[in-house]
């Protein structure tokens, strides 16, 4: 799954992801890809002072071989559902 997203990012130079996060998990992992393409990601960070958002950006950067500065949360910074933009 990550390889497919990496390839899309290379081909299109940008990628938009729908993400549903669950903060305060034991570890940060991709739990599921929903039928509509939304990524359900458990985050090992609390939803306090932007820590969960920082962890999400770190995780996506690691999985997509990107830099954190290339990842922006466009919609839902304070919510469980987010739209994230990644540029290459």
Residue 49 confidence (pLDDT): 95
**What is the pTM (predicted TM-score) of this model?**
0.95
pLDDT in the model for residue 65: 95
State the pLDDT at residue 36.
Answer: 96
Q: Quick one: which of 25, 8, 16, 2 has its CA closest to 75?
A: 16
Residue 81's H or E segment, with its range, is strand 81-87
Domain of 55: which CATH number?
3.30.1200.10
Note down the domain range covering 79. Answer: 2-87
For residue 28, the model assigns a pLDDT of 98
Number of Cβ atoms within 10 Å of the Cβ of 85 = 14
Residue-wise burial string across 19-52, b where 16 or more C-beta atoms lie within 10 A, e elsewhere? bbbebebeebeeeeeeeeeebebbbebebeeeeb
Q: How many domains does the chain have?
A: 1
Per-position pLDDT tens, the chain of length 88? 899 999 999 999 999 999 999 999 999 999 999 999 999 999 999 999 999 999 999 999 999 999 999 999 999 999 999 999 999 9
């Amino acid at each position: 799954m990550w390889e497919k997203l990496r390839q899309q990012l290379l081909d299109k130079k940008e990628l938009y992801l729908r993400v549903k996060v669950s903060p305060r998990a034991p570890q940060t992992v991709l739990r599921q890809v929903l039928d509509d393409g939304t990524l359900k990601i458990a985050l090992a960070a609390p939803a306090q002072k932007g820590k969960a958002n920082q962890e999400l950006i770190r995780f996506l950067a690691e999985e997509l071989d990107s830099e954190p500065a290339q990842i922006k949360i466009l919609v839902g910074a304070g919510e469980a559902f987010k739209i994230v933009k990644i540029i290459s």
